[in-house]
Amino acid sequence: MRKLFLVFLPFFLFWMGCQPPTEKTQTTTATKVEVKDGWYYLNGERFFIKAIGYEIGARPGQNPYKDTISDLGRVRFDMNVIKDAGFNTIRTWSQMSEEQLKVVQESGMKIIFGIWILPEGPYGDAEFMKNQVSLVEKVVSYTKNYDCVISYLILNEPMTDHIYKCGAKEMANMLTTLKGILNTQHPGIPVGISGNASTNDFMDMNLLDFYGYNCYDYSNGQCGTLGYTGFLSWCKNLNQNKKPMIITEFGYSVSDLGFGKYGGNTLEEQKYGVVRNYRELIDAGAVGACPFYYADGWWKGGEPAIHNNTAEEWFGYWGYSGINDTIGSPRPVWFALSQYLKGLVISPKNQNVYGTTIPVELFVDNDIRKVIVRLRDSIIYTKTVEKEGYISDNINYTPKGREGAELLFEFYNAQKQVVKTESIFTLLSKEPVQLPKLTITVTPDDLANGKKCDMKIAITDLGDFKIQGDVRYNFNFHMGWDAGPEGNLPLKDNKLSFEVSNPIPENCWVLVPSAGVTVSYGKYYLRLHDQKMIFRGNWYEGIGRR
């Protein structure tokens, strides 16, 4: 705890009335953005996007979508605070002005630049398209001059029913048209959307330059059956792993009231949940993360001057004490994330199986000077760090048969102090391993051909693995934000097969039935899962894929 206090001492001094952090202006050479091998590269160096969701004009009493607030001093202050905490990028929803973008550029931060295209807009309407084209052209006329822009987001969480009513081909045409303008006017800068993984998993994200997903782990829906890592891995695999995946929103609200994990979380639950999800999205293969979000948005409940007890207003990692507090103060999650970002373990990954060579991939900040990996207290790897950024190496280790292993990563600073530790749980084996399987079979294969969905679940090849807990099932009907019917299936009398069914609503256009269970071998754990995607007819052609 002492080291954490020292790291964040400037914040505490500021709260106590001392001088605020010195404003920083960074002059850098031009940034060249490339996307290759599923990663972002900046000036030839592999780059992990350590972003955070950010809005200006969202302080108590403000509404960023109604008020025109420049507040360049506040943007400058925020960029310094965010950068000092270890983030390298901000992610926005609506477009920043050129004056605000210039401040971001001067700070040395990068930006995933949001352009607010109305998610519920009539995608196929000529007048609507004309207005969106005009907006994008106006924005890119100045953003193209700033190399802090490393990506664009042009849509946020379109709903399944709305896509169906507008038309799949109409939506695809809108996305490709707007993407084409940005690609032409600002060449080399990737364009994507932030689709919600629970409602937009059926969309073909290869229409865009990267896979952007908002994914909130409330332990229900497909996060409940597949697990957070499994769900995001499935989304990435559906797109055939052709492009980078960025998780554009995730987090937990600390409102007093809430439903499930949507609100009602304690500060400790927020802290541990966000860090856990960060680990899980890396395990899923994400190359960037944008936790939601920097500071509370009082405006979301419709009364910007009042901090209502609605979940949407309490996701912030900084909170405000009252209407006159324009700076705020950090919550425990802020400190935890800042520490976590100092050393990211990209490989090895939890739930993976490795042989005699364990690939090591790390991203370290400029505080880190040495990395040590221990297995059962013995050092199996040491790396001296010469500069911040990406590290690629291997651990050569001969497993003693099959080992459910805990690999402990220790990150040290120049004073030989431990800055961060993290455990990765893997299965190590010299020989090939037959892993258990969970499979489902479902009927019908087209929603138009049945009134109910039948799901059969089977667990096979269990071997020496032990089942942990119940089997979880879910029917995601993609109807609004409802996760869909779900439940637990207890294991009794060594029974490893189950059957469940649920009626299919007439206005369900795509259904994903899924099931999952956790198994373990020693310290190694694995979430077994399976899922299917069923459409009603072929309406999805143009925007979706099976």
Instruction: Report domain extents, the chain.
Output: 21-345, 356-429, 437-535
Average pLDDT, the chain: 93
Q: Is the pLDDT of residue 20 over 60?
A: no
Q: Which residues pair with 531 in a beta bridge?
A: 514
Q: How many CB atoms lie within 10 A of CB 357?
A: 10
Instruction: Please write the tens of the pLDDT for every residue from 73-98.
Output: 999 999 999 999 999 999 999 999 99
Is residue 15 scored above 50 in pLDDT? no
In 190-291 the beta strands, taken as DSSP E runs, fall at 191-196, 211-214, 245-249, 258-259, 262-263, 288-289
- Check residue 94 and give its pLDDT: 93
Nearest Cα to 304, choosing from 55, 54, 96, 58?
A: 58
CB atoms under 10 Å from CB of 382, counted, come to 10
| Residue range 437-535, CATH number | 2.60.40.1930
Per-residue pLDDT, 29: 64
pLDDT tens digits, one per residue of 216-273: 999 899 999 999 999 999 999 999 999 999 999 999 999 998 888 999 999 999 999 9
Phi, psi of 301 (to 5 degrees): -85, 5
Predicted local distance difference test score (pLDDT) of residue 13: 33
Contacts of 163 (CB under 8 A, 6+ apart): 123, 171, 203, 543
Region of 93 please: left (phi>0), alpha (psi -120 to 50) or beta: alpha
Q: Contacts by 10-15 with C-beta closer than 8 Å and gap 24+?
A: 10/84, 11/81, 11/329, 11/330, 14/327, 15/329
Q: Where residue 463 falls among pLDDT bands split at 50, 70, 90? A: very high
Using alpha carbons, select from 187, 117, 118 the residue that is nearest to residue 149.
187
Would you state the structure tokens that stand for residue 506, as one six-digit string?
Answer: 């007439």
SS (H, E, C) 513-545: EEEEEEEEECCEEEEEEEECCEECCCCCECCEC
The structure's pTM equals 0.93
Tokens of 231: 């769900």
- Per-residue pLDDT tens for 391-436? 999 999 999 999 999 999 999 999 999 999 999 999 999 999 999 9
Say what the pLDDT of residue 10 is: 37
CB atoms within 10 A of CB 70: 14
Q: What is the mean pLDDT of residues 520-527?
A: 98
Residue 525, pLDDT above cutoff 90 = yes
Tell me the percentage of the chain whose pLDDT exceeds 70.
Answer: 95
State the architecture of 356-429 in CATH terms. Sandwich (2.60)
pLDDT bucket at 70, cuts 50 / 70 / 90: confident
How confident is the model at residue 322, as a pLDDT?
Answer: 94
The answer to whether the 21-345 and 356-429 domains have the same CATH topology is: no
Q: Considering the domain 21-345 in this protein, what is its CATH number?
A: 3.20.20.80
CA pair distance 229, 528, nearest whole angstrom: 11
Residue type, 520: S
pLDDT in tens, 467-492: 999 999 999 999 999 999 999 999 98
Tokens matching residue 37: 């091998």
**Distance between CA 211 and CA 229 in Å, rounded?**
15
Our CA dihedral for 460, 465, 466, 469, rounded to 10 degrees, sits at -60
Nearest to 3 by CA among 419, 441, 405, 407: 419
